[in-house]
């Protein structure tokens, strides 16, 4: 059933599509960047005998992932009533956009947990014992 308020072009607009892709890709990319950043900063933390920069990198990583999740959530198509699967291109575009949004939100939530787990060694160990 077509809705007069839903335009397929609004689902595929470049800003909305980019926001959904950010939700999917931000978690793994930010986590990989955090690993490299912590590896580089561990030498500096050992020399200075302070770990604040490692904690700051983790806070920045969680903030970036949360920002990507928020932008993906904002780009989500409206939730309508659930219908049977269809071969109509407009409806399949809607389902694909919803799936991509939900997948991106799930990935962001998972990688926030992974980033927080990456913070455990920085909290427990002394910087020079790595």
Using alpha carbons, list the distances in angstroms from residue 26 to 30, 31, 67, 124.
6, 8, 9, 27
Please check the confidence at residue 116 and state whether its pLDDT lies above 60: yes
CB contact at 8 A, 69 and 108: yes
Please check the confidence at residue 114 and state whether its pLDDT lies above 50: yes
Which of the four pLDDT bands, split at 50, 70 and 90, describes residue 128? confident
Helix axes 52-74, 89-124, angle to 10 degrees: 170
CB contact at 8 A, 53 and 44: yes
**Domains of the chain, residue spans:** 14-78+86-129
């Amino acid at each position: 059933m077509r809705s007069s308020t839903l335009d397929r072009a609004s689902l595929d607009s470049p800003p909305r599509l980019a926001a959904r892709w950010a939700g999917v890709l931000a978690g793994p990319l930010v986590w990989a960047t955090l690993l490299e950043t912590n590896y580089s900063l561990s030498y500096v933390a050992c020399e200075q005998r302070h770990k604040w920069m490692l904690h700051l990198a983790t806070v920045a990583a969680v903030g970036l992932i949360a920002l990507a999740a928020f932008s993906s959530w904002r780009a989500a198509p409206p939730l309508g009533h659930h219908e049977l699967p269809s071969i109509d291109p407009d409806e399949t575009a809607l389902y694909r956009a919803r799936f991509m949004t939900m997948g991106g939100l799930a990935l962001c939530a998972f990688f926030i947990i992974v980033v927080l787990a990456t913070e455990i060694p920085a909290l427990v160990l002394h910087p020079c014992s790595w």
